[in-house]
């Protein structure tokens, strides 16, 4: 029961509520204080004051006050409601739901509380709770259509398609035949939503029937047509499907899915290339400017037919000076014959130009020629047709003809990247950027390339040319705010390469938090979309949010972060900054040398902290003078170097934050499974470790990382100081025996792996590491064999750099390897020892 207030204070209290609703939080607090002066323990007022405070950044104080309010008045729905709202702001949804429930028990008729509860249930995917809430909201206000739709969504997402459909139909029946107007989009969307539910039941026949009856008056004609075409094809109603896909192509000839549908509808066999080509040619005629119909036939045509079609396609695009020609044909190269044909065709164009004599060296012809050189440069730079000297030769010729072409210069930088020379690559990309400084794409690439060269500060400086740089956080703050995941990820990886663990973790966590924000972003749409009535898009959004971290952006940072934590766990001294490895540094056998290195690192860390805090002070002073533009003061990052993250007591526990979603969302990613093994085995979670091994094995049984891990796990099991609990042991052994039988002779197993994979450098590397695990004294033999992998015809420079790092792990001298690799890749910089 809320405590009664004198009537004057009562009206002041109502003002507090109004101030809050009008977002006049400071006034709200002031007015609340007026009430509290005379009624210091009035719970509701305290709660409302807290709510106002929470909106102006005083969340800690707000929380304390809300708790006090609750103590003063446990029987008020307001105190409970506010308590819930504050928890919700802190994203502690479980506690918020509990508080809302208390509030609702005290005030069962309150619509705002009921609604806030429902929104959270949706956010938490508590579908059963959501169904309950939505049912009672519908009962309270059955006149509002969105209340019906919401209940249908609740049932739908909970998996009860029949009930969802029933709710929608029940509403339709309340209209008693009065069809809503054609322009009523909410109605149109609800009808299409119902149709998708019917289709999801698998009864396509009924879905089609429903669509035929209602689709003509829906406000999303493209969607109706797409659904219809899809249904017709699934029902094998080929003539109608053909008409539908034809109509779709008339709308958009640039969608390969439509052509596929049309081909299925026309029952053209996959190998009837002539008929297929004729079909695409028809569309070329209808839409001469459309690329798809010209390009797709190159995918299936073979031999002479391919050659002819490819020549026509290439010639047309070159004549039109289309700079993106190469990216549009490179997918053909998975077929080596096609790759060679394309190469021959384009090379021929050069030679025929040259034999025509250079007399017509006018501007237009130069442009044509440069296009061909540019194509060849990209061709020889591509991994399936790589010949870097030729690539360089062609790009130089292209640049000579058109020195201002940004693309050409960018390609030159890319060639240097593939040469294994990130220094030159970054330099050349900078030249590309300078050719058009207003182009952000060039800026992005230039920044990316300096990051690849581990120049973090330079990268940030480049980025600053396109950010506002006015807020407290500066450029970096802007990039966080704009959720610039690519930069944060590249920055993190560059820090990791330099073993700057704190900063690497800092950036990885930033991207992690951006994903959290994206998950939180959906919250407002739980109510917003119901008002807007765009239900199909909303339901798609909810389902997408459920698999948000399947996105490759997440996979990448999760892998990076877990690697970082593993490194920190294995080399805890890195918490004090990068320490040179090798005989004089961290790996030193001499304890004094090691301590010296550590001390040096700590000093460096202190120096950096000082610089950072000076910068912060300077920014603060500047900000105080400038008074931030939008009036809101951005919170300062108290730990810009990530020292708090790096000084964790338990890196492996922290790694779980990244690892768990990684394994859950992308279980088919073998690198994720292998990293899962590394974390679990270090944490002595043997069963979970073997699960990761089994998952990795199911993806690729001969994966090199997995090979070494299998062996290491066998050795771990054999060498346990204390046997595993019986049940665990049984399960682990049963599972692991399928992967690497206990009876297996390990040396034989490893040597046979080596000999059956002797052409692949990565596999050989793994087998050599494995051999040393089995026989430490084989080290010098392994070093010799590792050196010999440089003679493998297929070895790539990336594989060689991995081997280079491997020598560190082995504690070996790298000179011989570096010399030989540098000779093999004379343009590279990655094998420089200093």
Structure tokens at 692: 């990761």
* Three-state SS sequence of 288-301: CCCCHHHHCHHHHC
Q: Which CB sits closer to other proteins, 488 or 708? A: 488
Quote the CA–CA distance of 682 and 688 in Å, as a whole number. Answer: 11
Residue with tokens 């066998």: 714
Least distance from other proteins to the Cβ atom of residue 664, Å:
12
Instruction: Give the SS3 label for residue 275.
Output: helix
Taking the complex as a whole, how short is the minimal distance between the CB of residue 279 and other proteins, in angstroms? 15
Residue 62: strand, helix, or coil: helix
In the complex with other proteins, the residue whose CB is nearer, 210 or 771, is: 210
Q: Match 């304890």 to its residue by tokens.
A: 591
Phi, psi at 669, each rounded to 5°: -90, 110
Other Cβ atoms less than 10 A from the Cβ of 646: the count is 25
Sign of the alpha-carbon torsion through 447, 451, 453, 458: positive
Identity of the residue, 2 or 180, whose beta carbon is nearer to other proteins in the bound complex:
180
What's CA 413's distance to the chain center, in Å?
Answer: 26
Smallest gap from Cβ 512 to other proteins, in A, equals: 13
Surface-to-core class of residue 83, CB atoms within 10 Å of its CB (0-12 exposed, 13-18 middle, 19+ buried): buried
Rounded Cα gap, residues 10 and 31, in angstroms: 11
- CB of 458 vs other proteins, minimal distance in Å: 18
Looking at the Cβ atoms of 455 and 478, the one nearer to other proteins is 478
Kindly state the helix (H) or strand (E) to which residue 627 belongs, with its residue range.
none
Q: Which is nearer to other proteins, 145 or 349 (CB)?
A: 145
Question: Given the complex with other proteins, which of 364 and 630 has the nearer CB atom?
Answer: 630
DSSP 760: -
Q: Kindly report the backbone phi and psi dihedral angles of residue 255, in degrees, each rounded to the nearest multiple of 5, phi listed first.
A: -150, 110
Instruction: Decide: residue 362, CB within 10 A, 0-12 exposed, 13-18 middle, 19+ buried.
Output: exposed
Residue 395's Cβ-side half-sphere holds a number of Cα atoms within 13 Å equal to 24
CA 391 to centroid of chain Cα atoms: 32
CB of 88 to other proteins, least distance (A): 9
Contacts 24+ apart (CB under 8 A), 78-81: 78/2, 78/43, 78/44, 78/47, 78/48, 78/103, 79/43, 79/44, 79/46, 79/47, 80/106, 81/47, 81/110, 81/112, 81/113, 81/116
3-state secondary structure labels for all residues of 430-489: HHHHHHCCCCHHHHHHHHHHHHHCCCHHHHHHHHHHHCCCCCCCHHHHHHHHCCCHHHHH
**234 or 616: whose CB is closer to other proteins?**
234
- State the nearest-atom distance from the C-beta of 786 to other proteins, in Å: 33
Least separation in angstroms between CB 814 and other proteins: 37
Structure tokens given for 781: 């033999």
Cβ at position 298, least distance to other proteins in Å: 9
Residues shown for the chain: 834
d(CA 470, CA 726): 62
Would you say 115 and 128 are in contact if contact means Cβ atoms under 8 Å apart? no
Which DSSP letter does residue 628 get? -
* Residue placing its CB nearer to other proteins in the complex, 299 or 315: 299
Q: Is 181 helix (H, G, I), strand (E, B) or coil?
A: coil
Q: How far is the CB of 278 from other proteins (least distance, A)?
A: 19
In the complex with other proteins, which residue's Cβ is closer, 248 or 690?
248
In whole angstroms, the minimum distance from the beta carbon of 553 to other proteins comes to 5
Nearest to 69 by CA among 59, 81, 60, 58: 81
SS (H, E, C) 86-105: HHHHCCCHHHHHHHHHHHHH
Q: How far is the CB of 769 from other proteins (least distance, A)?
A: 30
Q: Which is nearer to other proteins, 260 or 271 (CB)?
A: 260
**Smaller CB separation from other proteins, 368 or 553:** 553
Q: How far is the CB of 212 from other proteins (least distance, A)?
A: 12
Least distance from other proteins to the Cβ atom of residue 743, Å: 37
In the complex with other proteins, the residue whose CB is nearer, 105 or 468, is 468
**Nearer Cβ to other proteins (527/571):** 527
Shortest Cβ 347–other proteins spacing (Å): 23
Asked if 663 contacts 672 with a C-beta cutoff of 8 angstroms, the reply is yes
Cβ partners under 8 Å of residue 111, min gap 6: 137, 140, 141
Nearer to other proteins, 642 or 661 (CB): 661
Are 392 and 801 in contact, with CB atoms under 8 Å apart? no
Gap between the Cα atoms of 742 and 373, Å rounded: 58
Smallest separation, CB 166 to other proteins (Å): 21
Q: Nearest approach, Cβ of 626 to other proteins (angstroms)?
A: 16
CB of 457 to other proteins, least distance (A): 20
How many Å apart are CA 342 and CA 637, to the nearest integer?
54
Rounded to a whole number of angstroms, the minimum distance from the CB of residue 182 to other proteins is 5
For residues 14 and 441, which CB has a smaller minimum distance to other proteins in the complex?
441
Of residues 610, 600, 578, 583, the one with CA closest to residue 494:
578
180 or 581: CB nearest other proteins: 180
Question: Nearer Cβ to other proteins, position 134 or 814?
Answer: 134
Residue placing its CB nearer to other proteins in the complex, 290 or 688: 290
């Amino acid at each position: 029961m809320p405590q009664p207030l004198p009537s004057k204070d009562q009206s002041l209290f109502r003002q507090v509520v109004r101030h809050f609703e009008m977002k006049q939080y400071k006034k709200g607090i002031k007015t609340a204080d007026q009430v509290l002066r005379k009624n210091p323990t009035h719970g509701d007022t305290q709660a409302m004051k807290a709510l106002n405070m929470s909106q102006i950044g005083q969340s800690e104080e707000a929380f304390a006050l809300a708790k006090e309010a609750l103590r003063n008045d446990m029987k008020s729905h307001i105190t409970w409601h506010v308590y819930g709202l504050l928890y919700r702001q802190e994203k502690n949804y479980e506690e918020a739901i509990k508080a809302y429930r208390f509030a609702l028990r005290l005030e069962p008729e309150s619509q705002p509380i009921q609604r806030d509860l429902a929104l959270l249930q949706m956010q938490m995917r508590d579908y059963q709770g959501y169904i309950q809430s939505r049912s009672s909201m519908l009962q309270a206000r059955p006149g509002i259509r969105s209340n019906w739709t919401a209940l249908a969504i609740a049932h739908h997402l909970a998996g009860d398609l029949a009930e969802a459909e029933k709710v929608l139909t029940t509403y339709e029946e309340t209209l008693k035949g009065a069809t809503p107007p054609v322009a009523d989009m909410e109605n149109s969307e609800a009808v299409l939503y119902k149709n998708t539910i019917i289709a999801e039941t698998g009864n396509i026949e009924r879905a089609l029937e429903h669509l035929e009856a209602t689709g003509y008056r829906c406000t999303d004609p493209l969607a109706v047509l797409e659904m219809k075409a899809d249904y017709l094809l699934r029902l094998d109603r080929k003539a109608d499907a053909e008409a539908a896909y034809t109509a779709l192509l008339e709308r958009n000839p640039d969608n390969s899915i439509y052509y596929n549908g049309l081909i299925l509808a026309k029952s053209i066999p996959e190998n009837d290339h002539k008929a297929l080509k004729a079909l695409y040619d028809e569309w070329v005629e209808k839409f001469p400017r459309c690329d798809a119909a010209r390009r797709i036939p190159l995918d299936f045509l073979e031999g002479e037919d391919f050659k002819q079609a490819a020549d026509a396609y290439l010639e047309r695009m070159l004549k039109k000076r289309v700079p993106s020609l190469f990216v549009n044909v490179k997918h053909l190269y998975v077929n080596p014959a096609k790759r060679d044909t394309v190469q021959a065709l384009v090379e021929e164009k050069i030679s025929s130009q040259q034999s025509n004599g250079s007399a017509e060296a006018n501007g237009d012809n130069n442009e044509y020629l440069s296009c061909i050189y540019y194509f060849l440069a990209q061709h020889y730079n591509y991994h399936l047709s790589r010949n870097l000297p030729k690539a360089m030769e062609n790009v130089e010729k292209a640049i000579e003809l058109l020195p201002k072409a940004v693309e050409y210069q960018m390609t030159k930088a890319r060639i240097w990247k593939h040469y294994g020379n990130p220094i030159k690559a970054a330099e050349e990309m900078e030249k590309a950027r300078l050719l058009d400084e207003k182009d952000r794409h060039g800026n992005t690439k230039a920044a990316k390339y300096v990051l690849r060269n581990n120049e973090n500060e330079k990268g940030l400086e480049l980025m600053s040319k396109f950010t506002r740089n006015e807020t407290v956080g500066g450029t970096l703050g802007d990039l966080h705010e704009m959720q610039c995941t690519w930069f944060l990820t590249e920055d993190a990886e560059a820090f990791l390469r330099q073993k700057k663990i704190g900063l690497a973790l800092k950036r990885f966590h930033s991207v992690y938090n951006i994903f959290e924000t994206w998950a939180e972003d959906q919250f407002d749409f739980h109510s917003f979309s119901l008002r807007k009535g765009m239900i199909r898009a909303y339901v798609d959004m909810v389902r997408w949010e459920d698999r948000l971290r399947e996105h490759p952006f997440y996979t990448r940072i999760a892998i990076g972060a877990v690697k970082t934590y593993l490194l920190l766990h294995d080399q805890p001294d890195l918490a004090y900054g990068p320490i040179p490895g090798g005989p004089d540094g961290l790996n030193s056998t001499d304890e004094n040398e090691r301590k010296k290195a550590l001390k040096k690192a700590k000093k460096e860390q202190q120096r950096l902290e000082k610089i950072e805090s000076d910068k912060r002070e300077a920014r603060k002073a500047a900000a105080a003078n400038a008074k931030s533009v939008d009036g809101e003061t951005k919170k300062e990052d108290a730990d810009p170097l990530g020292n708090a993250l790096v000084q964790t007591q338990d890196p492996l526990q922290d790694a779980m934050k990244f690892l768990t979603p990684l394994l859950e969302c992308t279980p088919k990613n073998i690198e994720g499974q292998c990293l899962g093994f590394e974390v679990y085995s270090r944490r002595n979670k043997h069963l979970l470790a073997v699960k990761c091994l089994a998952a990795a094995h199911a993806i690729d049984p001969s994966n090199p990382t997995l090979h070494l891990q299998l062996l290491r796990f066998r050795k771990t099991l054999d060498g346990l100081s204390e046997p595993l609990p019986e049940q665990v042991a049984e399960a682990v052994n049963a599972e692991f025996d399928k992967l690497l039988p206990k009876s297996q002779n390990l040396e034989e197993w490893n040597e046979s792996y080596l000999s059956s994979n002797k052409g692949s450098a990565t596999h050989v590397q793994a087998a050599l590491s494995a051999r040393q695990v089995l026989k430490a004294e084989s080290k010098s033999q392994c070093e010799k064999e590792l050196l010999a992998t440089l003679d493998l015809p297929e070895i790539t420079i990336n594989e060689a750099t991995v081997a280079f790092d491997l020598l560190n792990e082995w504690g070996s001298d790298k000179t011989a390897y570096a010399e030989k690799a540098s000779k093999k890749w004379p343009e590279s910089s990655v094998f420089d020892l200093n």
